[in-house]
Structure 1
Amino acid sequence: DLAKYKIYYSDEAYKILGIKPEEYDNTYESFLKYVHPDDVKKIENLLENPCKDPYKLEFRIIRPDGSIRNIYQLVEFVFDDAGNPYFIYGTIQDITEQKNLQAEIERKQEEINKIQKKYEVLVQESTDVFEIIASDGTIKYISKASETVIGYKPEERLGKKIYDYYQGEELAKISRMVQFVLKDFNNRTKGHVVFKNKTGKNIYLEVYMHNLLHEPAIEGIAINFRDITQKVELGKHMAYMATHDEVTDLPNSVYFRRRLKNQCIQARKNQTKFAVMMLDLDGLKNIKYSLGYDIERKLIIDIVERLKLNLEDDIFLSRFSEDHFAFLISNPRTYDEYKAIAVKFLKLFSQPYKMKNYELDISANIGISIYPDDGQDEANLRKQANIALIRAKKEGKNRFKFYSSDLDIQNYRDFILRSDLHYAIEKGHLKIYYQPIVNLKTNEILAVEVLVRWEHPNWGLISSEEFIALAEETSFIVNIENWVLKEICRNYKQWLKNGLPQIKVFINSPSIQFFESDFVDNIKNIIDEFELDPRFLIIEIAENVLTKNIKKVSADIEKLRVLGIEVALNDFGTAFSSLASLYSFKVDYLKLNSLFIKNAILDERSNTITSFIIRMARELKIKLVAEGIENGEQLLYLKELNCYAGQGNIYTKPLVLEDFEKILAKRECKPRLIKVKKILRKEKRKFFRIKFHQLLEATMTVLTIKGETVNVGNTKVLIENIGPGGLSFISNIRFPVEKYFILQFITRLIGEDIKVYGYPARREKLGDDLFKYGIEFTIDENERTNLTRILNQVQVKMRNNILFAEGDFISTSPYAYFNSYNN
């Protein structure tokens, strides 16, 4: 009622409003209190602007309980004769549920729209192409990415067959994929194909197919494919990098082994010969350490270019390692032709290489093996070529050698040691020994010298001189010295923890390590790793190192001294530049070579030199350590000359860690009384022995090691005596005294061939390079009976003829024989 501004509701309307009739005074003002504040304006606008036609209105009310409801109202105004509204009537509905449902529908639709939009964006913007084909290969749908990936717009491919875009093997591939997925619903497959894009360029596609013919929304084979050309090319590049040398771009050892293996298969099939050549450069490492990496790199590139110019069509060249090149000559040739090729390559190193302002002297050696004579597989052919290479290197610079079964055991041994040295650390074959350095007056332990020994599992104990030379030759010496220094630091730290004396530790620095650019930094970093004071360390340097690169060596010595690391000059007096070295370099210790001590007592000249060196060291305030003191006479002599310190077997032989720690705990090491006695060995042999008046020449080979047959050549030895149970022989090769090491001997007596075998039971050192061995035979009784028969005849002949010589006897001394044999 607009005249009274009163509102009247039905019972249902009161329910919608959430109020009771008695709680409501029917006034317009009270009604507005229930209207949502944001919707009051709608009500006011309606009253201010009444309309002639029925009017729909939606607004919200807030019930007394605080709940909000959505109201739909349909109203109509009643006008008087003057056209003024005086009454409003109508209906209201609670449409809250409908509104909520509509909002939920709209929200869901919005989500659907977003998903659809995402799908459209993903498909259209994706670098993957999505395609649907019919069972006959007709393209029914293709996404816009088609133009980006393969160059074709969707409309250019729609309606055409997928097979129209492939040829040859690629067509066969795509056909096989389609046929496979058609065999069953939901079948899937994936593959790679080469596709020629619209510009004619071949690209690699990764194709995925899924049979969705049964899906109403698809009714076809769903395909998606992507361009993987970059990935394939990267894979090819990575494969190339893995099989090629970075500096020279030549195939590397991985590639060469693969190529050689395939060559063996082809040669076996075609029954043809081919050759493997291994070329080793000498002098390269010294250039790198002296002049730097850049010069070495340019030199290698220059060498490779010259080698390439001399290659023939069937010669494959590989950089097998840093200073090692491998050649595969695939076509059969004569030995003279192989020889001519080797000579041609070696001539490239007859003159120095000119690089900037330097003339670089590089030499080379070549080892050659022939298939199938020297091996029928990749590993053996490489091995035999390397054995031949070792022999060539022994003969001097720019030499070559063919492998032959006549190559002696020493070459085989050298090859095995070179190969196994690289695994000596990780397999625990290198052992550290400690020899105390003692104050000669007080017997106090002043320091200890660290010595490294190699206990080879098959060849026994390898002298440090021998394996250090091999390690320097292969640059593995740096790994060994780093390992040794870490072990020393680890043990020294434990000594300090256990309260043992803080003595000095002498460690020898090989020449090749001293030429490393980061030599001193490397030492410092290792010591820092164990948090030790560097002053416990003394670096021993050989005299020949001082003359090679005076500026660098002098700078490094100064760096060591700044760190508190003292320097000792090793084997002092053995080089021509000894006195000059003292003038040019600041050293803290001199180590007097044992040869002076041995000769000084018997030789007046040696005595004069030795006493001079000791007196000079004292006056220069350089501490002197005498090496190799063997007996009391030598010790007394050194004490009389006031020699500061010494070491040698008179105190103790080099000891393992546990034994040295026991001596160190006592803080002193007293000299032992060494009595030299000639011990007569009682004859315990079960069989007789024939001692020859002259030495009998024999050919010897290693038959088995630990039950495994060894493919090794022969060497010459000299038999001193022989019997049914064994023999004694002289050799210039050091063999292990082990039952598992079976040697075979072939010789000739009284016109009959003798072949026997057994293991070394005894070894005696005769000189620097000669050893005498006692062999116990492992022959069977039939062989022993036959040997006894021959030896009985020999005994009879020797009794009847003192000048008996019916055999391969020699008339020279063992020293002369082996010197001539080696040369």
Structure 2
Amino acid sequence: MFIVKMMGELCRMNNKFGKKTEDHLNKNDKKSKKKEKKANVKAELANAKQEIADQKEEKSDMQAALLKADQEIANQVGEKADIQAELVIVNKEVDNQKEEKADVVAELAITIKELANQITLRKEALEKIERIMHYDSLTSLPNRAMLEEKLQHEINIAKDQDKRIGILFLDLDGFKPVRNTLGQFQEGEFIKVVATRLTNLVQESDIVARLGGDKFIIMVQNPESSEYVRKVANKIISAFRQPFEVNQNEIYVTVSIGISVFPTDGKTHEDLIKNAELAMYKAKEKGKNQSVLCTTIMKDIIRENMKLSNGLYKALERDELEVYYQPQISLDTKKIVGLEALLRWNHPVLGMVPPGKFIFLAEQNGLIIPIGKWVLHTVCKQNKTWQEAGLKPIRIAVNLSIIQFQNLEIMNQINEVLESTKLLPKYLELEITESIAMRDTVYIIDVLNTFQKLGIYISIDDFGTEFSSLQYLKLLPINRIKIPMPFIQGINVDKRDEWIIETIIVLARKMGLAVIAEGVETRQQDSFLKKRLCGEIQGYYYYKPMPAKDIEMLLQTNS
């Protein structure tokens, strides 16, 4: 029981101690918590202070940032103002560029239009050049260049296909008096009417070309024979019996036609045209108004002419040319009063070639210009040499061809020759044919006036053999008329020739012109001319043409 009581007391005491201990612990715990709380408050205060400090710093940073942002905004506002100002400028520039672009587009449109116009004009110009190069301006027919192109083309085809080609070379008969009667305008209308008739007379496949003047060529395509080509020619000749109507005037002309056929009469366009032309001249010689087919003899003549033409190129440099002189005699005194220079060619194979065989060749190949200049220089130099040797000064006549006269350098050439030889101009006589005088009257008169002002003597050769016009005789500044040989040969043979001679002499005397007759070969001719008061003559009856050394001896005797 005691034990139990002790155990109970002990429990009670333990509980009381425990309670005190617990109270003490609780009290300590409270103190500890209070301290801890205080420490926490302090910490929190510190943290709050730190946060306030941080917030102040953040506020300061924010204020700085705001200031910076404000500055940036201000800058941006300034930049925006600048941008807006730039935008205004840019917009203005854009507007200006738009205007400039519009102007450029407008200018480009104008340029394109002008370019288009230029292209059109260039195209038209090229077409015009093509027409000029290949077509006759008066008739619109193909010209020689066009014909030669087409003919050579057809020759190339004909070679492969064994075909023929016919060439008709046409020349109107007696066209010069018609031309003089019509005048320039109506002459052109007449040529156009002739061209139309020729075109209507041939097949559509045939080609009618105009060479110029009153000359035409017709290319007959693939004829069955030479005889067929001749029938075409005769058809044309028959059609020309009908008059041509020009401005209500009826004009009659005939035509001479030369014929060549490929390949018999030539294998190139040059040979075919050349042979047809030669045949045409044969038709003229036989009386005109007919057709002539090219023959072997004609082709032989062409070959001979080609050899002569080739030889002429070297004749000057080989010293093969020589000037002969034929005296001109006064019918009153029977003395030599002048000379005519006549060209001769000492061919190394053919011997002495007369001028009638090579002068026309020199005119065709252009050698007449250097040859003519050589003749002028040789004659003037020889005349000066004779004068310096003490012979009586006389005048020497030199013939000028139409080619020389058409050369614009002719006046300079003659001046140079006179200056280089020191010959006085009055001792040089220039002879021009009547056909030259009728070519380009204004030009001829200007040139002849220049010659006369220099003191050069001027005469017309072969007067009356062409279609003479007294109008030309009145206008041309000439000193002398030369009566041609055909009229002289008619003395005591044909009264009409005698009447013509008498008329020329009287006409010349009335106009104050001198007269000389050439080709005098008989005593009867000499007597007739003396009775009609012809001033001077030349011909075989007195002297034939002679080289310079023989003339010099004659002049010594004559003096």
- State the TM-score bracket (shorter-chain normalisation): 0.5 to 0.7
**Distance in 2, Cα, partners of 1:128 & 1:370:** 58
Whether the 8 Å CA contact 1:539–1:568 is kept in 2: the answer is: yes
**Distance in 1, Cα, partners of 2:324 & 2:503:** 33
**Distance in 2, Cα, partners of 1:470 & 1:452:** 14
Which residue of the partner structure matches residue 626 of structure 1? 537
Which of these residues, 552, 555, 558, is aligned with residue 669 of structure 1?
A: 555
SS at match of 1:249: coil
Do structure 1's residue 610 and structure 2's residue 526 form an aligned pair? Answer: yes
Do structure 1's residue 287 and structure 2's residue 207 form an aligned pair? Answer: no
Return the structure number with greater relative CO, CA threshold 8 A, min gap 6: 2
**Distance in 2, Cα, partners of 1:125 & 1:247:** 42
Unaligned runs of 5+ residues in structure 2 are: 1-84, 369-399, 490-496
SS at match of 2:260: strand
Number of equivalenced pairs: 428
Whether the 8 Å CA contact 1:368–1:389 is kept in 2: the answer is: yes
Which of these residues, 525, 530, 538, is aligned with residue 458 of structure 2?
A: 538
Which of these residues, 297, 301, 320, is aligned with residue 410 of structure 1?
A: 301
Which of these residues, 133, 155, 164, is aligned with residue 273 of structure 1?
A: 164
Which of these residues, 424, 432, 438, is aligned with residue 515 of structure 1?
A: 438
Give 1:555 deviation, angstroms.
1.7
RMSD across aligned positions (CA): 5.2
SS at match of 1:365: strand
Which of these residues, 422, 428, 431, is aligned with residue 505 of structure 1?
A: 428
Q: Deviations over 1:147-184 (max 9, x none)?
A: x79xxxxxxxxxxxxxxxxxxxxxxxxxxxxxxxxxxx
Whether the 8 Å CA contact 1:315–1:327 is kept in 2: the answer is: yes
Query: Which of the two has higher C-alpha Rg?
Result: 2
Gap change, CA 1:239 and 1:357, over 3 Å in 2: closer
SS at match of 1:370: strand
Q: Deviations over 1:431-475 (max 9, x none)?
A: 87665657799999854434456789998865344567889999x
Whether the 8 Å CA contact 1:455–1:462 is kept in 2: the answer is: yes
**Distance in 2, Cα, partners of 1:303 & 1:569:** 36
Which of these residues, 113, 132, 145, is aligned with residue 241 of structure 1?
A: 132
Which residue of the partner structure matches residue 56 of structure 1? none
Whether the 8 Å CA contact 1:390–1:415 is kept in 2: the answer is: no
Give 1:344 deviation, angstroms.
0.7
Whether the 8 Å CA contact 2:425–2:454 is kept in 1: the answer is: no
Do structure 1's residue 525 and structure 2's residue 447 form an aligned pair? Answer: yes
Give 1:392 deviation, angstroms.
3.4
Q: Deviations over 1:760-789 (max 9, x none)?
A: xxxxxxxxxxxxxxxxxxxxxxxxxxxxxx
TM-score normalized with structure 1 length: 0.43
Which residue of the partner structure matches residue 306 of structure 1? 197
Alignment of 1:102-121 (within 5 A): 120-121=102-103
Alignment of 1:281-680 (within 5 A): 281-289=172-180, 291-351=182-242, 353=244, 355=246, 360-405=251-296, 407=298, 409-410=300-301, 412-413=303-304, 437=328, 446-451=337-342, 463-465=354-356, 479-480=402-403, 482=405, 490-491=413-414, 495=418, 500=423, 503-516=426-439, 518=441, 522-525=444-447, 528=450, 533=453, 535-545=455-465, 548-556=467-475, 559-560=476-477, 565-571=479-485, 573-574=488-489, 575-576=497-498, 577-585=500-508, 586=511, 588-596=513-521, 599-600=522-523, 606=524, 610-611=526-527, 613-614=529-530, 616-617=532-533, 624-628=535-539, 648-649=544-545, 652-653=546-547, 669-671=555-557
Gap change, CA 1:124 and 1:292, over 3 Å in 2: same
Q: Deviations over 1:33-56 (max 9, x none)?
A: xxxxxxxxxxxxxxxxxxxxxxxx
**Distance in 1, Cα, partners of 2:335 & 2:306:** 44
Whether the 8 Å CA contact 1:390–1:411 is kept in 2: the answer is: no
Alignment of 1:729-768 (within 5 A): none
Give 1:326 deviation, angstroms.
1.9
Which residue of the partner structure matches residue 106 of structure 2? 124
Q: Deviations over 1:478-530 (max 9, x none)?
A: 633516997688457754776545644333332312333516x52443553x7
Gap change, CA 1:369 and 1:498, over 3 Å in 2: closer
Gap change, CA 1:113 and 1:512, over 3 Å in 2: farther
**Distance in 1, Cα, partners of 2:312 & 2:191:** 26
Which residue of the partner structure matches residue 90 of structure 1? none
Q: Deviations over 1:348-368 (max 9, x none)?
A: 233554556876553322233
Which of these residues, 214, 224, 228, is aligned with residue 119 of structure 2?
A: 228
Q: Deviations over 1:183-202 (max 9, x none)?
A: xxxxxxxxxxxxxxxxxxxx
Which residue of the partner structure matches residue 250 of structure 1? 141
> Identity across aligned pairs (percent)?
20
Give 1:342 deviation, angstroms.
1.4
Whether the 8 Å CA contact 1:256–1:320 is kept in 2: the answer is: no
Q: Which amino acid aligns with 1:560?
A: P
Whether the 8 Å CA contact 1:541–1:568 is kept in 2: the answer is: yes
Gap change, CA 1:590 and 1:238, over 3 Å in 2: closer
Whether the 8 Å CA contact 2:329–2:538 is kept in 1: the answer is: no
Whether the 8 Å CA contact 2:312–2:362 is kept in 1: the answer is: yes
Q: Which amino acid aligns with 1:342?
A: A
Q: Deviations over 1:555-600 (max 9, x none)?
A: 23xx526xxx44454557443311122223335433244534xx32
Gap change, CA 1:445 and 1:295, over 3 Å in 2: same
SS at match of 2:556: coil
Give 1:298 deviation, angstroms.
1.8
Q: Which amino acid aligns with 2:547?
A: K
Q: Deviations over 1:109-129 (max 9, x none)?
A: 999998875554233332479
Gap change, CA 1:263 and 1:595, over 3 Å in 2: same
**Distance in 2, Cα, partners of 1:487 & 1:454:** 23
Gap change, CA 1:400 and 1:502, over 3 Å in 2: closer
Give 1:539 deviation, angstroms.
0.6
